[in-house]
Structure 1
Amino acid sequence: MAKAKKVSESIVTMTELVLPHHTNQLGNLLGGQLMHWIDICAALSSSKHSQRVCVTASVDRIDFHHPIKLGDVVTLTASVNRAFKTSMEVGVKVTAESLKDGKVVHTNTAYLTFVSVDENGKPVETFEIEPETDDEKRRYEEALLRRKNRLIYRSP
């Protein structure tokens, strides 16, 4: 692919309200529910970048730094950190806002790898990514290091 796209063109923001069916017995958001939202947000970002259907290839570790409570507003922001030949690393930042006191907490960060595919589900080349800001450039460089680690630990 000849064309490169800006990181800003891949940004997707989702907002979700934590309802009772999203929580465990302690009133905290279920980890699986959050992972589902992260996967959707990242998939939309990678598809926006590649202009194709994208499938999840891998999910890096997800750390749960703070519990997300019933009634909190969860905001997920995803963007492509780096594009390789057919795959892309997408970073997702998760914050939770308590509507009771207005406090916003960064609860999670996740890195996922997506592959753009054609109508037959076969991998196809995607656009390169052009980082512009210092933060985008830092994430671009760090994505290469994470990819190298993924490839080392990938099962044969």
Structure 2
Amino acid sequence: MIIDWGVVSSAATAVGSLVTALGVGFGAWQIKVGKEQAQATFEDSLDQQYRSLSMELPVSVLIGEPVEESDRNQVRELIYNYLDLSNEQVYLRAKGRISKHTWTSWSQGIKLHLAKPSFAEVYSEIKDKCDFTYLNRLVASDFQSDPKSWYR
């Protein structure tokens, strides 16, 4: 039996190329999965900030009822902190750091909160005094524009 070393060499090169391509594909997949996991962790940390703030607010405020006079200053400060977090969320979406799926949920939540009397009152009071540029722009668009499209 005569071995054609040219054929063997070509087959070995083809197998090597295939293995390299599979390795590159697997590496790219790992990078994509890692990026998605990092983004989910980042978004979860912002969700946790929201949950911490909302747990401090009286339920009556969260369901749109008036603030008790004795709670007014504390609630006002918590709502301000919520508005600051919301502005940060809009900014992060504008910079492409927040996924479309998460943004859809967050923007609806912001819209619902700003429709509640206590939130609307504090927002109205501070919107021209504070640098909530991103939140102001979202509200001005009636929540219709995606901040990610603002800087393309």
Q: Which structure shows the bigger proportion of residues in strand conformation?
A: 1
- The normalised TM-score by structure 2 is 0.31
* Bigger RCO of structures 1 and 2 (CA < 8 A, at least 6 apart): 1
Between Structure 1 and Structure 2, whose CA radius of gyration is higher? Answer: 2
- The normalised TM-score by structure 1 is 0.31
Q: Which structure shows the bigger proportion of residues in helix conformation?
A: 2
